[in-house]
């Protein structure tokens, strides 16, 4: 029930946000006397920091809505940061409990400091181009690749029968054949198709009138690969250092 409620709320929220976005775009198209698709060509930072503030400036009570809008952007950024940082913190703390026991605060401080220093490049004169590069290669396809590896690890290596027993222990019933087929075959196949098609159909990376050079595209691929390449590396590491045969 919780999964159905969460999915329904997520879909309704996306539906509502679509109304809000295209209402604003339609209003700006009317103000500029252009087509909606011409306004929608403003992507990324231009749409967020130019088009929307321009629309808010024409509203009644524009100051109040501008404050609410940018507070929303700050909270969205903080929320995304909490999720990503907590994943790294929890994984490292669980892997090295003897070393980091009682030192969680120092570890979190060090991790945040590293993230802060790494993000300083986005505050330079060319920061918008760095953000665009990270936006294109740091998420999206790399996240789907991580999900694909997770699906394969659970369904194929851990075993669908063992996973079904775990679900029964938690929920009280065994998943049906439909879910097992989806976990073993349908989901990995669809995820692999999306990842491969995304890699094969990469348009030239541009921002405003600037086209990124080839070496920056290679850097982008390295950034994207760094998100999931540690998973197979760690798998090989555990296979080598864990006692017993490969079958065991």
Confirm if 155 and 163 have CB atoms less than 8 A apart. yes
Q: What's the angle, vertex CA 142, arms to CA 225 and CA 109, rounded to 5?
A: 80
Q: Is 118 exposed, middle or buried (0-12, 13-18, 19+ CB in 10 A)?
A: exposed
Q: What backbone torsions phi and psi does residue 210 show, to the nearest 5 degrees?
A: -100, 130
80 is in an annotated binding site: yes
Integer-rounded Cα radius of gyration of the chain? 23
- Residues 51-72 as b or e (16 or more Cβ within 10 Å = b): bbeebbeeeeeeeeeeeeeeee
Q: What is the rounded distance in angstroms from the CA atom of residue 246 to the CA atom of residue 156?
A: 15
Q: Across-strand partners of 210?
A: 207
197 is in an annotated binding site: no
79 is in an annotated binding site: yes
Q: Structure tokens of 94?
A: 């669980």
94 is in an annotated binding site: no
Confirm if 219 and 132 have CB atoms less than 8 A apart. no
Q: Which residues contact 72 (CB under 8 A, 6 or more apart)?
A: none
Confirm if 210 and 129 have CB atoms less than 8 A apart. yes
Binding residues for Na(+), by number, are 10, 76, 79-80
Binding residues, by number, are 10, 76, 79-80
């Amino acid at each position: 029930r919780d999964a159905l409620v969460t999915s329904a709320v997520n879909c309704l929220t996306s539906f509502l946000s679509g109304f809000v976005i295209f209402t604003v775009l339609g209003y700006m198209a009317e103000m500029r006397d252009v087509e909606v698709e011409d306004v929608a060509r403003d992507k990324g930072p231009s749409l967020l920091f130019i088009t929307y503030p321009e629309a808010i400036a024409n509203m009644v009570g524009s100051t109040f809505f501008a404050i609410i809008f940018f507070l929303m952007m700050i909270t969205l950024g903080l929320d995304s940061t909490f999720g990503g940082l907590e994943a790294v913190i929890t994984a490292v703390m669980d892997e090295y409990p003897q070393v980091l026991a009682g030192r969680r605060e120092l570890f979190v401080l060090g991790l945040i400091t590293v993230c802060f220093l790494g993000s300083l490049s986005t505050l330079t004169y060319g920061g918008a181009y760095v953000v665009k590069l990270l936006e294109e290669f740091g998420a999206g396809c790399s996240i789907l690749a991580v999900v694909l590896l997770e699906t394969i690890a659970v369904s194929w290596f851990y075993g669908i029968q063992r996973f079904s027993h775990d679900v029964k222990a938690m929920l009280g019933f065994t998943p049906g054949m439909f879910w097992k087929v989806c976990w073993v075959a349908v989901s990995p196949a669809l995820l692999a198709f999306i990842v491969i098609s995304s890699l094969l159909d990469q348009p030239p990376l541009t921002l405003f009138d600037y086209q990124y050079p080839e070496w920056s595209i290679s850097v982008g691929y390295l950034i994207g690969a760094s998100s999931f390449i540690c998973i197979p590396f760690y798998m090989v590491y555990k296979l080598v250092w864990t006692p017993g045969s490969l079958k065991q």
